[in-house]
Amino acid sequence: MKLSIVVAFYNEEKMIEKTHSEISKQLQLMQPDTIDDYELVYINDGSKDKTLSLMKQMAQNDHHIRFISFSRNFGREGAILSGLKYATGDAVMLMDGDLQHPPALIPNFVAAFKEGYDVVSGQRDRQGEPKQSTFFARLFYRFANHLMDVQLTDGISEFKLFSRKAVDTILALPEYNRFSKGIFSWIGFKEKIIPYQNQVREAGESKFGFRRSMNYAFQGIISFNDKPLRICIQFGLACVGFALLYLLVMFIAYFVKPEILVSGYFTTLAAIILFSGVQLISIGVLGEYIGKIYYEVKRRPHYIVDETNIKKAKEDLVG
C-alpha cells in the first residue's frame, strides 16, 4: 500500500525540519514490511517566515515531498482540503507540523487501516494543558453535542487516517464554510480510536489562541445545525408568554387591590432591556446564518496556489 502524510505548516521554521526528519524516519522503518511506498504532502499556509524556503530545500533533497504553497494564509481548513485533494495514497493521514501528533503512532494507524477501518482517529488526553484551555474545551464539546447534528468526541482532533473511500467522500462535500471536525464525523464509516498522551509543543508558538479557538467553535456550531434559530423562536415565545402572564396578573390586581398599582419605572425599563436584548440576539444569530449563505453563494475558492511541485495543482491553481 501507499501511504500519504499531509502536514500543514504556518510559520513553523523552527519545527519543519525536525518534523520532516521524525516522520521520514518512522516511514522508512515501515518499509517494505508495512507499506510499499509513501509520499509527504506539505502545505505552506501563507507563512511569513522561512518555512517555504526550508520546505523547497527539503523537497530538492527528498523526492517523497510534494509541496503546495498558498498565496496567503487561508487557514487550516483550506490546507487540509488541498492536502486531501492532491494526496495519491491508498490511505491518507493528517498530522500537525509541530510534532504534537507523535510520528511513532503512524504504524498503529496503518495497522487499524489494514484491519478494515476507513477512519482511524487519535484521541489525546489533556495532561500538561492549561486548566483554562481544558475547561473551555470540555465545555465546548458538551455544549456542541447538545446542539449539533453530529457528535464530537473530546480529544479527537485532525490527527486522523482515512481510506481512499473516506477521502473521496470528504472531497465530495464542497461547502465553503468548512468545519473539519464536524465533516469527519458526519461522513460516518467504520472508525477506530487510538488514545495517546498529549504532546507539548517543543518550539514556536501555537497558532490557535483562545479567541481563534472560540471563533472556530462558534463556526462549527453554526455550520452543523439550525437549532440557534429555533432557540431564538422559543426564547421569543417564552418572553411573549411571560409578558402576557404579567399583563394578566396586573389586570387581576387592578380589580382586586387597585391601591398597590403604581407607575413602574423599573418594570418598564426591565421590559425594554429584555425585549431589546432578545431582538439583538435574534438579529445576530440570523446575521451569522445569512453571512454563511453569502459566502457559499459567492463560490470563492478555498485557497489559491502560489508555488508547487505538483503538476495537477499547477494546472488547477485554485481549489
Q: Comparing C-alpha atoms, which of 93, 74, 73 is closest to residue 176?
A: 74
Q: How confident is the model at residue 248 (pLDDT cuts 50, 70, 90)?
A: confident
CA 47 to each of CA 94, 147, 211, 306, 309: distance values in angstroms, whole numbers, following the listed order: 19, 35, 20, 12, 17
Residues paired with 5 in a beta bridge: 40, 93
Average pLDDT over residues 123-152: 64
Which residues contact residue 174 at a Cβ distance below 8 angstroms, ignoring those fewer than 6 apart? none
Would strands 156-163 and 119-124 be described as parallel, antiparallel, or unpaired?
A: antiparallel
d(CA 56, CA 50): 10
pTM: 0.73
Q: What is the pLDDT of residue 270?
A: 60
d(CA 267, CA 193): 55
What type of residue sits at position 79? A
Report which of residues 18 and 245 the model is more confident about. 18
Task: Tell me how crowded residue 49 is: count the other CB atoms within 10 A of its CB.
Answer: 15
Q: What is the pLDDT of residue 262?
A: 56
Q: How confident is the model at residue 318 (pLDDT cuts 50, 70, 90)?
A: confident
- C-alpha dihedral (260, 266, 269, 273), degrees to nearest 10: -110
What percentage of the chain has pLDDT greater than the value 70? 66
Q: How confident is the model at residue 263 (pLDDT cuts 50, 70, 90)?
A: low
Specify whether the CB–CB gap between 313 and 71 falls below 8 A: no
Q: How confident is the model at residue 3 (pLDDT cuts 50, 70, 90)?
A: very high
Average pLDDT over residues 214-222: 61
CA 162 to each of CA 48, 86, 274: distance values in angstroms, whole numbers, following the listed order: 30, 14, 49
Q: How confident is the model at residue 40 (pLDDT cuts 50, 70, 90)?
A: very high
181-208 pLDDT, tens digit each? 778 877 888 888 888 777 665 555 555 5
Rounded to 5 degrees, φ, ψ at 192 are -120, 135
The 3-class SS string of 110-136 reads: HHHHHCCCCEEEEEECCCCCCHHHHHH
- The region of weakest confidence among 151-165, 174-188, 233-247, 302-316 is 233-247
For the chain, the average pLDDT equals 77
Q: What is the pLDDT of residue 72?
A: 87
Q: Does the domain spanning 2-209+301-316 belong to CATH 3.90.550.10?
A: yes
Domain ranges of the chain: 2-209+301-316, 226-298
d(CA 240, CA 246): 10
d(CA 211, CA 151): 23
Q: Is 90 helix (H, G, I), strand (E, B) or coil?
A: coil
Average pLDDT over residues 284-288: 72
d(CA 59, CA 69): 12
Q: What is the pLDDT of residue 5?
A: 92
Highest mean pLDDT out of 37-46, 71-80, 148-157, 198-207: 37-46
Q: What is the pLDDT of residue 319?
A: 73
